[in-house]
Amino acid sequence: MSPRDASVVLTGAAGGLGSAIAQRLFEEGARLLLVGRTPGPLLSLARALNGGAGDRSRVDALVVDVTTDEGRRAIIDAAAARRVNVLINNAAISAFGPAQDLNPEVARRIAETNIVAPMLLTAGMLPLLHSRERAQILNIGSTLGSLGVPGFAVYGASKAALRIYTEALRRELADSAIRVQYYAPRAIDTSFNTPQVQAFNSATGSASDSPQAVARCVARMLQSESRQRYAGTLEAIAARLNGICPEWLDGAFAKHRRALTSLKFPSGASS
């Protein structure tokens, strides 16, 4: 779908990647309903985008928590009013650290935000999307959802769940007018990464991309309607090899184990 034909719900719009996606899609002509739970950055982004547009109806902002029933109902109501035909599930939170240090509250928030919220929002949006002549659902995953990397067990598990959900949904809706897509970025240079994650990526030589580069890929994917893409050639190859025989790659993560062990984490923290 051309961005000029897209009326988009974008969750997690106030974050580093979300704001970059919003900027890119806006520049390419999309109409946007920006969703987030932090008023300041979200409303500032909407004002900045509308400030340069002759048609101020192109961007709206909705301050809600996508993990709540009330928040999702508000999104669906606003999406119906704006005749939305694209849902981008981008909202997510991260967790990084040794598996034994996992905090129960962090585990619950990861599950609610990264898995439960996008599934329930998608379920609620489907009747609306089915009513459109063409529609798309684009879930933002991660290469960590296809490669088990030490330190990212919980976050990777949440993205693996989103990947399988997307795959099953794509097959379920194959005979409909709704296209279902999954994009898996690698590390992104935003505040989403804690200092520990940055040190870990540096020690392991993990490649990263700017949020603007990832946003360009998301916009191209929206237009191409391709089913699934991974950022980075090596990451894409590794994900496919890991899908065939995970044991083949076990030895490649020795430096990741060493890097994780060498890091210092706040007492009782898991992210």
User: In sequence order, what DSSP letters do the residues of 59-102 get, joined into one string?
Assistant: EEEEE--TTSHHHHHHHHHHHHHTT--EEEE-------S-GGG-
Domains of the chain: 3-262 (3.40.50.720)
pLDDT at 267: 56
pLDDT at 264: 77
Number of Cβ within a 10 Å radius of residue 43: 15
Whole-structure pTM value: 0.93
Q: List active site positions.
A: 155
pLDDT tens digits, 51-76: 855 455 799 999 999 999 999 999 99
Extract the residue ranges of the chain whose pLDDT is less than 50. 54, 268-269, 271
pLDDT at 266: 64
pLDDT tens digits, 169-215: 999 999 999 999 999 998 899 887 888 998 999 999 988 899 999 99
pLDDT at 113: 98
